[in-house]
Structure formats: C-alpha cells, structure tokens
Amino acid sequence: MNSNIKNILKEKVKREKASKKNILWNVLKSISQNNNIKNNIKIYTNFILDKKKEKSFQISRKHRICLLTGKRSSVLKGFSFSRYTVKKLILSNKLTNFKKNNW
C-alpha cells in the first residue's frame, strides 16, 4: 500500500508542475500572437518559446491514477477512480444517482 501512496503523491506533483508549465506556455503564446504588443516583445517571446521547446518544456504525457488504489489501468475520466473502485463505491451507496445499465 505504501508504494501506491508514493505513486499517487508523485503523480500529483507531476500534475501541478505540468499545469504551471502549461499556464506559462499559454501566456507566452498569447503574447506572441497579440497584435497590440510591440514587435520587440513578440520576438523575445518567440525566442523563449523556441528555447523551451528544445528543452522539452511541455510534459506530453501524464498518467491518470486511481486516488484510492493507485492503479493506472482503467481509470475513468470523470471520477479519477478506477472502474472497480467506482463499482465498490456505488454498491456501498457512497456514490448516489447511478443505475445499472441494461441493454
């Protein structure tokens, strides 16, 4: 269980770093595309963007991990839990307003 907690904590740190980097990336990109800003600043931001691109500035892949079990497989987008833990939560009435889907 300790390894699962470590994986979850590492993944949370990665996500925070990735979100900060992506925010900076979007700000620099919007500055470089803005027509109301001087050309010197645009050129400088383009230079920074090119430099950051070479250093693999953006993290292209981040794993989704179940918050309870630490599994990386079959994690649902809306819940950030694996499908097995979602099923357990529904059966124990901790998640409400769900129906069994019959075809």
Smallest CA-to-CA distance from 48 within 70, 63, 76, 29 is with: 29
pTM tops 0.75, yes or no: no
Clarify whether residues 5 and 26 are in a common domain. yes
Clarify whether residues 55 and 68 are in a common domain. no
Clarify whether residues 50 and 82 are in a common domain. no
Clarify whether residues 8 and 28 are in a common domain. yes
| Separation between Cα atoms, residue 42 and residue 71, nearest integer Å | 44
What is residue 54's predicted lDDT score, i.e. its pLDDT? 61
What is residue 34's predicted lDDT score, i.e. its pLDDT? 85
What is residue 26's predicted lDDT score, i.e. its pLDDT? 83
Clarify whether residues 76 and 47 are in a common domain. no
**Full domain range(s) for residue 102:** 64-103
Which letter, b or e, does each residue of 4-15 get, where b requires 16 or more Cβ atoms within 10 Å of its Cβ? eeebbeebeeee
The pLDDT profile of the chain, 103 residues, written as one tens digit per residue, is: 567 777 777 777 877 777 777 788 888 888 888 888 888 888 888 888 887 776 655 455 567 788 788 787 888 877 788 888 888 888 888 888 887 777 6
